[in-house]
Structure 1
Amino acid sequence: MKISVCIPIYNFDVRELVDDLKKEIKNQSIDAEIVLIDDASEENFRQINNELQNKVEQFVLLEKNIGRSRIRNLFLNYTKGDFLLFLDCDVKIDDKNFLANYLKEIDQNRGVEVLYGNFKIDPAHSGTLRNRYSIEKEIFSVKRSSDFALLKTVNFIIKRNVLEKFPFNEVLLNYGYEDFVFAKTLEFSKVKFSAIQNPVIHFDDASNEDFLNKTKTAIDSLCLLLQNSDNEKFIKDIKVYRVAKKIKNIKMKSPFLFLYSLLEKKIVMNLLSKNPNLKYFDLYKLGLLLRKMQ
């Protein structure tokens, strides 16, 4: 059984990540390949990663950024593995048996088609808004789960024919909710899924301001999904959408937005501070969405 390690790159140095993966592949004689696709990174990052050209099976350089969904589907064109292991470029391997752990789980959990391995936060950046959100809302602590809501694209392995049948939604070109829609698609299709503890360390040093800007992009992605009623089944369980829809249905959208406008400056100031409150972050997302909802 061959594994294709798929790393989409955007403005990040992946040399250490690739070296650690290659060490395990060599030391444990694992049948695996490493494939990199650079999504039109800045020239300095292309130069940094250029030395990997002869260290991996494929290193594809895109001249135009194609987005988080399409680039993951594109790996199907450049890989040969029975399973595709997707890793975000800004992660670090935390266990010398990382690949072996996945292989062991596939061998023991017969019929499993998708595995999610979780992630940890680099302690140096644990206080930022982005990473506080991850710690409280995204990282799970149980040993094992079959809850598709846990699935994130940072570190997961999927059977090749499953991704071919259920690719990422390429309408979502930008950041936000592509992993949620993907997980729901797999869940509705009754794909066999497990979330296990085989984490990577996530190095996200985005400032609070940068994360708020990414959040605006994510809400734009959600609004894009709202334009097609067929997407209702995918997004109806997203908390911010569920709350916004309820507020709108009881005709409280205008009163809410009036009160939010009075508090908005205070909310944003808190979210940009060294001690951001996640309840304020929920209100921030809700305000963004309600302003855009028709």
Structure 2
Amino acid sequence: MELSICIPVFNFDVRELVFDLKKEIEAYDMDVEIILIDDASDDSFKHINTSLHNEVQNLIFLEKNIGRSKIRNLFSKYSRGKYLLFLDCDVKIDNAAFLQNYLAEIKKQPDLELMYGNFKIAGQYSTTLRNKYSLEREIFSGDHSSNFSLFKTVNFVIKKNIFEKFPFNEELVEYGYEDFVFSKLLEQNKIKFLAINNPVIHFDDTSNEVFLKKTAVAMRSLLTLSENSQNRAFIKDIKVYKAAVKLKQLKMVSVFLFLYGIFEDKIKKNLLSQNPNIKYFDFYKLGLLVRKMRSSRSDSGN
């Protein structure tokens, strides 16, 4: 088996995605399988996706949600492919030659161990805070990129033996930074990487309010990572973490939090508006993280 398509599913109808992938697989008689693992979705989505049992090689329903890192690692158990293609469930195929593009690159460069395929934002969601952030910070331009920091789990191919050697960090149960830590692990181990512009369309309808709540969870995840000295090598280049550490070194935490408190309501009002400012979002994240760091030190008696 050349390629296993691995799709973690949570509360999303993946029928269109699966049928589009199957259409290309069958049209070109590809040595490719599709595997779905549902991370304890609501019953309504389980019912919808159950119809795919005869359309894919494996459809597994988990009884308990295990999180974004652990569920991805679980695909090693069920996949047969030499390469694993991970796709988020809330994407659509943008190009009828999507799989062919990946397989052609694999054939051309068999020593490649990781490929990141990029993504586009569905037009109707392009003005939300979540997707404005993606457009400004997470999507590369051009045909190729060698920037590891742009790696996202939404659409990537990795050799199975490399993935088994360097899995996702399962300490990260909650939302946030699992893709960054994973990419840094691969980068530090000199994995041969290439980003190619072979995008999917991302249909992320997360509201600004929900995204701010997710951001608070992400800052908690980042704090948890920082409390383990072995993880600091992976997170030291995260801008919000570097800024928080710098404030501490300069003994400016109290001053920063005082200023943040003055502007916090204004910042939140902007981020919840129809025209959120990404620089305000940077300030918002820093405020959350610095507060959590101070609270954590107080709770531990330091």
TM-score interval (norm. to shorter): over 0.9
Matched residue SS, 1:52: coil
Paired amino acid for 2:139: I
Structure 2 segments unaligned to the other structure (5+ residues): 298-302
**Deviations 1:112-160 (CA, angstroms, capped at 9, x unpaired):** 0000000000001100000000000000002212221111000000000
**What CA distance in whole angstroms lies between the structure 1 residues aligned with 2:107 and 2:151?**
20
Whole-angstrom distance in 2 between the partners of 1:279 and 1:180? 20
Aligned to 2:300: none
The CA distance in 2 between the partners of 1:147 and 1:283, in whole Å, is 24
Question: For 1:202 and 1:244, how far apart are their aligned partners in 2?
Answer: 31
* 2:280 is the alignment partner of 1:280: yes
Tell me what 1:214 maps to: 214
Q: Name the residue aligned to 1:78.
A: 78
Identity of aligned residues (%): 63
- CA–CA distance in structure 1, aligned partners of residues 292 and 124 of structure 2: 35
Report deviation, 1:189.
0.5
Match of 2:159 in 1: 159
Q: Distance in 2 between matches of 1:4 and 1:143?
A: 24
CA RMSD of aligned residues (A): 0.7
Find the residue that maps to 1:60 and give its secondary structure.
strand
Name the SS of the counterpart of 1:92 in structure 2.
strand
- State the shift of 1:240 in Å: 0.2
SS at match of 2:99: helix
**Mapped partners of 1:105, 1:267: distance in 2:** 44
Aligned residue type for 1:151: F
**SS of residue matched to 1:174:** coil
**What SS class does the counterpart of residue 158 from structure 1 fall into?**
strand
- CA–CA separation in structure 2 for the residues paired with 1:146 and 1:126: 26
**Equivalent residue of 2:5, what SS?**
strand
4+ residue runs of structure 1 moved beyond 3 angstroms?
Answer: none
Q: Quote the residue 2:37 is aligned against.
A: 37
Q: Which residue of 1 aligns with 2:177?
A: 177
Aligned to 1:27: 27
Please tell me the residue identity of whatever aligns with 2:151: L
Matched, 1:125 2:125: yes
Q: Shift of residue 218 of structure 1?
A: 0.6
In 2, distance between residues paired with 1:62 and 1:239?
35
Question: How many residues matched?
Answer: 294
What is the match of residue 103 of structure 2? 103
Residue 110 of structure 1 deviates from its aligned partner by: 3.2
| TM-score (normalizing by structure 1) | 0.99
Greater alpha carbon shift after TM alignment, 136-145 vs 67-76: 136-145
- What is the aligned partner in structure 2 of residue 8 from structure 1? 8
Match of 2:211, as an amino acid? F
Please report the TM-score for the alignment, with normalisation by the length of structure 2: 0.96
The runs of 5 or more residues in structure 1 that have no matched partner are none
Distance in 1 between the 2:174 and 2:158 partners? 22
